């Protein structure tokens, strides 16, 4: 005969055995959130930061310089200095990816100061003391080391506090613990696993300190929103931007907590139309967002005839010369999203 205490124990064991068990989570596979259609809301945002890879890093740098009074810091992977292409596709290819041409760094610095004087970009004093993280991989043949060196020199020229991570063997891509290609590869979806966590490093640089990431199920919401709402002219596709973008909103931010806002810009061939939500899911940003009260905005570019690889406009492919300054179509479209979110 089973005694009462034993009956309770037996019942508890049976309940445990019959309870649904969460599936095992493979190492290197992040927990994700399915996108939910909605609109961008306004939150209590304490500061705005930008990050990007390749063409996304070039656009992030354009936003940083144009709005340096508002942008608190930048993390730039695999890119060169501001306005490197100078509205010229040949310069973009041979001077800002390859190093056959020079970057004309001193001219870029002069343009920046001149445009600040015109009010086309914020005063360069906004860059002074700003935390900036620059990453270049040793196996990156798409953007040469000397080009990223000049990005560092550009930022330092205006007084930014730069951390340069150039010791990795990475190929051309966004390095993340959730990468799906080998460290030295330059291959789709350009998410490289080098056994390191650059996101922890650059978030610590940008924020001053960082809490460990959430390695369990994500607690926030991934919102899929219309980019047409924010597009200059009202039609995102006309700006080589996709119909929809994404924003990850931690539950604490949705509940009214004060949060940071990080704009994360994918690279060429890395937008939703090419790789689905791979960058959104595997960039290792939502995991840190949950534990560091940070909203992550993921604008999306898309291919058009003048931009077949779905890059961001850092060489003038939209046909307007104001692409790197205030009023530039993609710069302003992204900033419209930032403003709506409360940044």
Predicted confidence (pLDDT) per residue in 264-316, tens digit: 999 999 999 999 999 999 999 999 999 999 999 999 999 999 999 999 999 99
Token representation of residue 178:
């959730």
Contact between 240 and 310 (Cβ < 8 Å):
yes
In this predicted structure, the answer to whether residue 215 has a pLDDT above a threshold of 60 is: yes
Residue 20: its pLDDT value, please?
Answer: 34
At residue 211, φ and ψ (nearest 5 deg) are -85, 155
Residue 27: its pLDDT value, please?
Answer: 61
Active site residues: 54, 140, 172
Lowest mean pLDDT among 9-23, 182-196, 230-244, 281-295: 9-23
Kindly indicate the confidence band of residue 28, based on its pLDDT and cuts at 50, 70 and 90.
confident
Nearest CA among 185, 178, 104, 205 for reference residue 141 = 185
Tens digit of each residue's pLDDT (9 = 90 or more) over 221-269: 999 999 999 999 999 999 999 999 999 999 999 999 999 999 999 999 9
In this predicted structure, the answer to whether residue 206 has a pLDDT above a threshold of 90 is: yes
Contact between 281 and 203 (Cβ < 8 Å):
no
Q: Peptide bond preceding 215: is omega within 30 degrees of 0, i.e. cis?
A: no
Q: From CA 139, how far away is CA 205, in angstroms rounded?
A: 24
Residue 70: its pLDDT value, please?
Answer: 98
Strand, helix or coil for residue 195 = coil
Tens digit of each residue's pLDDT (9 = 90 or more) over 128-144: 999 999 999 999 999 99
In this predicted structure, the answer to whether residue 151 has a pLDDT above a threshold of 50 is: yes
Determine the distance from the C-alpha atom of residue 343 to the mean position of all C-alpha atoms in its chain, rounded to a whole number.
Answer: 16
Q: In what order do the strands lie in the sheet containing 191-193?
A: 174-175, 191-193, 181-182
171 phi-psi bin (left φ>0, alpha ψ -120 to 50, beta other):
beta
Contact between 163 and 180 (Cβ < 8 Å):
no
Lowest mean pLDDT among 27-31, 37-41, 70-74, 276-280: 27-31
Contact between 175 and 198 (Cβ < 8 Å):
yes
Segment 157-169 mean pLDDT: 98
Instruction: Indicate the Cα dihedral angle 301, 307, 311, 314, nearest 10°.
Output: -110
In this predicted structure, the answer to whether residue 204 has a pLDDT above a threshold of 70 is: yes
Residue labelled with tokens 């560091």: 292
Residue 25: its pLDDT value, please?
Answer: 52
Segment 201-217 mean pLDDT: 98
Q: From CA 262, how far away is CA 219, in angstroms rounded?
A: 17
Q: Are strands 221-226 and 36-37 parallel, antiparallel or unpaired?
A: parallel
Residue 26: its pLDDT value, please?
Answer: 59
Runs of H (alpha helix) within the chain = 4-18, 55-66, 89-95, 105-118, 145-157, 198-207, 251-254, 272-275, 278-282, 286-291, 329-341
């Amino acid at each position: 005969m089973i005694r009462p205490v034993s009956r309770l124990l037996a019942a508890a064991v049976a309940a445990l055995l019959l309870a649904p068990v969460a599936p095992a989570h493979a190492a290197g596979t992040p927990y994700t959130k399915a996108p939910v259609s909605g609109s961008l809301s306004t939150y209590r945002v304490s500061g705005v930061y930008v990050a990007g890879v390749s063409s996304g890093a070039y656009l992030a740098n354009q936003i940083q310089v144009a709005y340096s009074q508002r942008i608190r810091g930048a993390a730039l992977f695999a890119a060169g200095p501001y306005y490197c292409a100078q509205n010229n596709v040949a310069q973009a290819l041979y001077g800002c990816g390859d190093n056959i041409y020079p970057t004309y760094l001193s001219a870029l610095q002069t343009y920046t100061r001149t445009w600040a004087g015109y009010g086309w970009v914020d005063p360069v004093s906004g860059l002074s003391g700003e935390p900036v993280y620059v990453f270049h991989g040793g196996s990156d043949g798409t953007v040469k080391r000397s080009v990223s060196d000049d990005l560092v020199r550009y930022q330092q020229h205006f007084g930014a506090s730069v951390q340069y991570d150039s010791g990795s063997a990475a190929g051309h891509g966004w390095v993340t613990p959730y990468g799906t290609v080998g460290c030295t590869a330059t291959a789709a979806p350009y998410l490289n696993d080098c056994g390191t966590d650059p996101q922890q490093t650059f978030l610590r640089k940008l924020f001053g300190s960082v809490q460990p990431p959430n390695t369990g199920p994500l607690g926030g919401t991934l919102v899929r929103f219309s980019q047409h709402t924010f597009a200059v002219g009202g039609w995102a596709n006309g700006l080589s931007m996709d119909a929809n973008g994404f924003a990850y909103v931690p539950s604490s931010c949705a509940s009214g907590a004060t949060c940071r806002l990080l704009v994360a810009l994918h690279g060429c061939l890395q937008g939703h139309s090419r790789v689905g939500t791979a960058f959104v899911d595997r960039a290792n940003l939502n995991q840190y967002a949950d534990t560091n009260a940070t909203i992550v905005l993921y604008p999306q570019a898309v291919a058009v005839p003048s931009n077949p690889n779905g890059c961001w406009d850092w060489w003038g492919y939209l046909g307007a010369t104001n692409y790197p300054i205030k009023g530039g179509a993609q710069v302003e479209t992204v900033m419209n999203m930032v403003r709506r979110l409360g940044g």
